[in-house]
Chains A and B, each alone.
Chain A
Amino acid sequence: MAEAFWALGRATGVVSLVLFTVTVLLGILTRSGRPALGLPRFAVTLVHRNVSLLATVLVIIHVASLLADPYAQLRLVDVVVPFLGTMKPFWLGLGTFAFDLVLALVITGLLRHRIGQPAFRFVHWFSYAMWPVAVLHTLGDGSDVGKSWLVLLLVLCVGSVLVSLAWRASATFVEYQHTRFEEARR
């Protein structure tokens, strides 16, 4: 049974990292205000939200199964308070930190209409901290890090986010940026 929890914990960790990567990519796409992948804008937003919730469910399974697994030596306090772990406290702590950020992002995301746009936006910017921290946690704590399939997967994840960040920072990112710049120049 312990073996099963260990396997489940590792697998859900990798899958949730992939899903969080997709969430970040869809979030950047959402921010661009463009329809994409054959979907209208409102559908891109909905897929962004739904993939992020799915990733959150998987990361909860990741944490819960490693809590149940005796090898991981994870205690309840390590789920929320970072850097107190017994095994690889730094790398585990990064996972805890990312998990806390995920909870904050999900709660403020779901309560966006209650807390208002400024508070939502402030917290949502921390997505750009959460994702790299989760990647570092995978690199430092992942039991399969030496394996080529995981290396390839991480290269794809990091590469795609870097490319989309470059697009995010470019002048032609927002749909109507061109028109708006032209009008401002007049």
Chain B
Amino acid sequence: MTRQSLHIDWTACDGRGLCTELLGPLLVRDEWGYPRAAGYGSDVPIPSSFVAEARDAVALCPRLALTLQEVRAPARS
């Protein structure tokens, strides 16, 4: 099973805030305006109900700092 994860390229990000608007509860803005996901760093897992919003965020990011990646769920041991 594959899941979507949103990768944030911090060298490109300028904290313009479009992604935090589109991905409301997943991403919040820190005190400098940069996106932050509770418990995650540069790769934010996207639930399937937010994939469309995540695609919009990738398309509209003014710094092209976002990419949507498919991550394979770790095999059960």
Contacts and interface: CB of A to CB of B under 8 A. Distances in A.
B56 A42 contact: yes
A179 B63 CA distance: 20
Contact of B17 (A112, A120, A175, A183): A175
Given A113-B59, A175-B33, A183-B32, A42 B18 contact: yes
B64 A112 contact: yes
B33 A33 contact: yes
Main secondary structure on chain A at its contact with chain B? Answer: helix
Classify chain A's interface size: 10 to 19
A175 to B, nearest CB: 6
A35 B33 CA distance: 13
- Sorting the interface of chain B by its residue count into under 10, 10 to 19, 20 to 34 or 35 or more gives 10 to 19
Nearest to A44: B18
Contacts, number: 43
Interface string B19-36: 001100000000111000
A117 interface: yes
Contact of A176 (B22, B32, B56): B32
Interface in B22-55: 22, 31-33
Nearest to A118: B64
Nearest to A30: B62
A45 B64 CA distance: 13
Contacts of B60: 42, 45-46
Interface of B: 12, 14-18, 21-22, 31-33, 56-57, 59-60, 62-64
